[in-house]
Amino acid sequence: MKYVARANRIKNILSTANIGASVKIQGWVRSRRDSKGGFSFLDISDGSCVAGIQVIADRSLPNYDSEVKHLTTGCSVEIEGNLQKSPGTKQQVEVLAKRINVIGWVDNPTAYPLQKKRHSLEFLREIAHLRARTRTFGAVSRIRNSLSNATHNFFQSRGFLYIHTPIITPSDCEGAGELFRVTAIELDNVPKNSNGEVDFRQDFFGRPVFLTVSGQLYAEAYASALTNVYTFGPTFRADNSNTPRHLAEFWMVEPEMAFCDLEGDMDLAESYVKHLFRSVLEDCTEDIEFLERLTPETKIIEPLTRFIDSEFERISYTEAVKLLEQSHQPFEVPVKWGTNLQSEHERFLCEKYFGKPIFIFNYPKQIKPFYMRVNEDNKTVAAMDLLIPRIGEIIGGSQREERLDVLQERMRELNIDPRDYWWYIDLRRFGSVPHSGFGLGFDRVVQFVSGMRNIRDVIPFPRTPNSAEL
């Protein structure tokens, strides 16, 4: 038997609903229900849409008693038949099977973890290799794909170049969290120098290297030649963060624009996020509706629509602090200019006070890294965060410090060795330009759009502290 990648999948068969047409479907059995009439209903899914297709398997099929009656959830099948109008109320059309081939049995149905009933997300997380077969994870996967596609469409249509920044890097991108070390040294035979320290000169790269925590510094180099660029790749943080919003391996979209200031940065961020919302609403309507039905307490479509049609709020850090002070809310931690805003503060502003996505910009320079551009007041830097309800921060960005002397001064203040950043400093010596960029936590956007509570459920195989089982 020959197999080819098929274009005509269940989604297409259901949407064209061509009564009488001869169809072939390949997929996995979601459930089998035996009718009183001596035939069976099969619910078949191939991951192309939320709905499965109903197949009528009559007892006149030659393998009805020997095979069809023994099909269980998870078996893979190939079915040929004719599309007919369904007398049932839950679907418009169904397939009257002429031939049912079982491709792969579930050899021990009791051991197959997925059942017809609803499973907890925590349980499904333990069987990440099978959870894509559920409606929920199918929907999330299609949404993730759509957002990914929309990302490229957005930047490509604006002339941004997609660049591939390195995954392995000697740079620790100051302030972006803990690093995973990459080494080819045999850990039971570590080379030491005369001081008893690990001798990285004997390692693969002849120096210490890490997995990237951000492509930003490299993107700056390319923006300083190609004007507008973006990266979209995996990012690694070894922070011991145990929250529903953090992954040790996540995906980040990082545009970087030459000749662009902080306001231009926020403008682009706003356009981009709205483009994502708009296109996923259109592209994955059924998936989003399905997920919203699953968790009715989490509204998705209404806020998405409202955010697309409204201006995101823009407020400076200093104004935000004032607002919080005047709010008379019973915060656990009091607001104080010069310190990081607490989650409760951000949530109040974003969810309660404004009720929509907000940019907070111009943060105190003492809580931000060396590369952010120092403002006129010499107290704040041109940084911005975009917060959205329910998720919190999805974007962190800034205008970069393009002035050589100011950059060097900042590095001295923060005790950063300029020799580690010689090439980054070079960019300020040779045709420096004002430039800006940001990083968008892609998985967090998927989380927001899908309504999933835990970020571990929007990436196929999540990596978190103490968890990389498969």
Partner RNA sequence: UCCUCGGUAGCUCAAUUGGCAGAGCACGCGGCUGUUAACCGUGUGGUUGCAGGUUCGAGUCCUGCCCGGGGAGCCA
Using CB under 7 A as the binding rule, the residues of this chain from 424 to 453 that contact RNA are 439-441, 443-444, 453
Q: Can residue 92 be called a binding residue for RNA (CB under 7 A)? A: no
Restricted to residues 227-266, the positions that interact with RNA (CB under 7 A) are 237, 239-248, 250, 252
Judged by CB under 7 A, the residue of 36, 207, 293, 328 near RNA is: 36
Read off the amino acid at residue 218: Y
Site for RNA in 122-181 (CB under 7 A): 122-123, 125, 175-177
Structure tokens at 378: 């010499």
Q: Which C-beta is closer to RNA: that of 133 or that of 444? A: 444
Cβ at position 277, least distance to RNA in Å: 16
SS3 readout for 90-143: CCCEEEEEEEEEEEECCCCHHHCCCCCCCCCHHHHHHCCCCHHHCHHHHHHHHH
> Beta partners for 388?
392
Amino acid at position 94, single letter: E
Residue 101 in the binding site for RNA (CB under 7 A): no
Count interface residues toward RNA (CB under 7 A). 73
Of these, 62, 88, 166, 170, which contacts RNA (CB under 7 A)? 88
Q: Which of residues 186-225 bind RNA (CB under 7 A)?
A: 214
Considering only 335, 394, 427, 446, the residue that binds RNA (CB under 7 A) is 394
Contacting residue, 53, 276, 395, 446, with RNA by CB under 7 A: 395
Least Cβ distance, residue 430 to RNA (angstroms): 27
- Among 6, 16, 18, 33, contact with RNA (rule: CB under 7 A): 33
Nearer to RNA, 239 or 377 (CB): 239
Query: Which residue reads 């393998």 in tokens?
Result: 63
Q: How far is the CB of 38 from RNA (least distance, A)?
A: 7
Closest-CA residue to 264 (of 129, 361, 142): 361
> At closest approach, how far in Å is the CB of 333 from RNA?
7
422 by DSSP, 3-state: which?
helix
Pairing of strands 93-104, 53-57: parallel
Q: List the structure tokens of 436.
A: 């800006």
Distance of closest approach, residue 57 Cβ to RNA, in angstroms:
11
Identity of the residue, 75 or 203, whose beta carbon is nearer to RNA in the bound complex? 75
Q: How many degrees, rounded to 5, is the angle at CA 462 between CA 457 and CA 467?
A: 120
Q: Are 28 and 45 in contact (CB under 8 A)?
A: yes
Cα-only R_g, the chain:
27
Please tell me whether residue 115 binds RNA under the rule CB under 7 A.
yes
Closest to RNA by CB, 73 or 203: 73
448 secondary structure, DSSP code:
H
- 293 near RNA (CB under 7 A): no
**Identity of the residue, 203 or 256, whose beta carbon is nearer to RNA in the bound complex:** 256
Name the helix (H) or strand (E) containing 230: strand 228-236
How far is 107 from 113, CA to CA, in rounded Å?
12
Q: Is 228 helix (H, G, I), strand (E, B) or coil?
A: strand
Among 6, 34, 103, 377, binds RNA (CB under 7 A): 34
How far, in Å, CA of 6 to CA of 457, rounded?
Answer: 28
Per CB under 7 A, which of residues 54..73 are in contact with RNA? 54, 56, 70, 72-73
Residues 305-334 that bind RNA (CB under 7 A): 333
